[in-house]
Amino acid sequence: MTESLKRGIQINKADLTSSEPPKHTNAKMWTFITPKMQDNKAFELMLTTIGPGGAAETVTHATEHAYYVISGRMDVTVEDKVYEMGPESCLYMDKEARHGLKVVGDEPVTFVVIFAPARQYA
C-alpha cells in the first residue's frame, strides 16, 4: 500500500502499474517518484527490468542520471565507452551523454534509474 505522510511517502511496487519505457525492448518499468506523483522537482526514480535479448536504444537526456544494478548483467555504452555492469554496480551519466544498453546473458537485468533534476524541470 502507498502511505502518504506529512513529510514522507511510502510507495510499494505492488501498488504500481508497469509500463514499457520508450525506446526499450523486452522491458518493464515501475515509476516510484516523479513530479506527477509528488511535489518533487529534485529527481525521478524508476525500477526497470529488461529481459534476455532486450536493450535500450542510444539516447541523450537533458538531466544527469544514474543506474544501480540489483540483479543480472548489462553492457552500457556511454559515448564510445562500454561499461560492464552487474549486481551492486552503479553508473553515473552526465547530462547530454549519449548512451544505450543491452542485456548480457540469459537472465533479466533489474536496475534503479535516477534522473536529477526531474526531466520536466531540466
Phi, psi of 40 (to 5 degrees): -125, 125
Phi, psi of 121 (to 5 degrees): -110, 5
pLDDT tens-place string over residues 77-105: 999 999 999 999 999 999 999 999 999 99
Q: Which residues pair with 36 in a beta bridge?
A: none
Q: Which residue has the cell 500500500?
A: 1
Residue 26 C-alpha cell reads as 523486452
CB 15 within 8 A of CB 2: yes
Q: Is the pLDDT assigned to residue 119 strictly greater than 90?
A: no
pTM of the predicted model, to two decimals? 0.90
Domains recognised in the chain with CATH numbers: 29-117 (2.60.120.10)
Q: How far is CA 39 from CA 7, 44, 118, in A?
A: 11, 11, 11
CB 62 within 8 A of CB 47: no
Of 14-23, 28-37, 81-90, 92-101, least confident by mean pLDDT is 28-37
